[in-house]
Amino acid sequence: MKKHNFSAGPCILPEEVLQKASEAIINFNDDNLSLIEISHRSKPFVDVIENARSLALELLGLENKGYTALFLQGGASNQFLMTAYNLLNKKAAYLNTGTWSSKAIKEAKLFGELIEVTSSKDKDFNYIPKNYTIPTDVDYFHCTSNNTIYGTQMKNFPKTEVPLICDMSSDIFSRQLDFSKFDLIYAGAQKNMGPAGTTLVIIKDDILGKVERVIPSMLSYQAFIDKESMFNTPPVFAVYTSMLTLEWLKNLGGIPFIEKVNKQKSALLYAEIDRNSLFKGSVIKEDRSHMNATFNITSEALKNKFDTLWKQADINGLDGHRSIGGYRASMYNALPLYSVQALVDVMQELERIS
């Protein structure tokens, strides 16, 4: 039986996706060729990437609404750079809620003036700032919807007159939102959609062409739009596996279905964290992430015992990020409810024997 995989990324993937992807490595489309040895210009793979792009827009409710879906390389970290390169003409506003938004700010400063509208750094990023004002004279406003390291999640997004840009790497396709309010969304596949190696970018077509600088081709959204995401050789396996995951999600009932499951999982785990005196959540309750639950053990003397118990229970990936320690349970779309129950059982067992 497969381990209960709470890894923050690369993420857990559905069993049927892993099965189909592994079969394609040996024999893709019954052509007696591997997926990773066919031409990326061949019709079988062009069909794959077109289907993946179409599914992304369909699941987000953005079909025929002036958006383009791209599968790019370089991870979300490259998008910190690309968004600014393509969109920052003079000045941009950023919300700082953790490590990844801090890195996005660092990259954007290379291209223009940056306004940090507010930050939760004062309390080690354990909350999402609220009631801030976004300037109207900026080129765009950038935020991070879910903070994988700290376990916070934006439950509401600001109304703004300027383009809204969002890094949704760790909660893309996990909950219902009005995605049409965003002008650009990007997400590394390895957090909730597929294997490492590709990044999904959803971009509103009319926000481009407004910067004065010359943009190198490999960093130009327009270059990839013009070539239908095939400006250069795409990461074929990562795109194919992402396509399979999107098909799996659609067949389940799409985002409305998976959101209900995700809320069940997070409610189960947070209820135990709050009930069990041996554990304490790291984030204020109203800003807790449904994807990444961060918590600590209240007695360091029990840490070794707890670590032994969850590893014996075939649980994987529960250690917190190396920068903050503690524990982190990542409950991405493909994680089953019974895996969360297995973790809760271990937490209750620790309480029983302590």
Domains, in order of start, for the chain:
15-252 (3.40.640.10), 254-353 (3.90.1150.10)
What is the C-alpha to C-alpha distance for residues 55 and 47, in angstroms, rounded to an integer? 12
Digit-by-digit pLDDT tens for the chain (354 residues) are 789 999 999 999 999 999 999 999 999 999 999 999 999 999 999 999 999 999 999 999 999 999 999 999 999 999 999 999 999 999 999 999 999 999 999 999 999 999 999 999 999 999 999 999 999 999 999 999 999 999 999 999 999 999 999 999 999 999 999 999 999 999 999 999 999 999 999 999 999 999 999 999 999 999 999 999 999 999 999 999 999 999 999 999 999 999 999 999 999 999 999 999 999 999 999 999 999 999 999 999 999 999 999 999 999 999 999 989 999 999 999 999 999 999 999 999 999 998
Say whether 106 is catalytic. no
Question: Is-contact 139 88, C-beta < 8 A?
Answer: yes
Question: Is-contact 248 261, C-beta < 8 A?
Answer: no
Report CA-CA distances (Å) from 110 to 52, 91, 163, 217, 348: 33, 11, 20, 18, 50
Say whether 310 is catalytic. no
Of 191, 204, 248, 310, catalytic = 191
Contacts with 220 (C-beta within 8 Å, 6 or more apart), sequence order: 85, 86
Place of tokens 């409950």: 331
Task: Count CA atoms closer than 13 A to 98's CA, side-chain side.
Answer: 22
Is pTM beyond 0.85 here?
yes
Place of tokens 């270059």: 223
Say whether 248 is catalytic. no
What is the C-alpha to C-alpha distance for residues 86 and 108, in angstroms, rounded to an integer? 11
Of 100, 139, 171, 183, catalytic = 100
Q: Is 230 exposed, middle or buried (0-12, 13-18, 19+ CB in 10 A)?
A: middle
Of 139, 167, 171, 183, catalytic = 167
What is the C-alpha to C-alpha distance for residues 266 and 290, in angstroms, rounded to an integer? 5
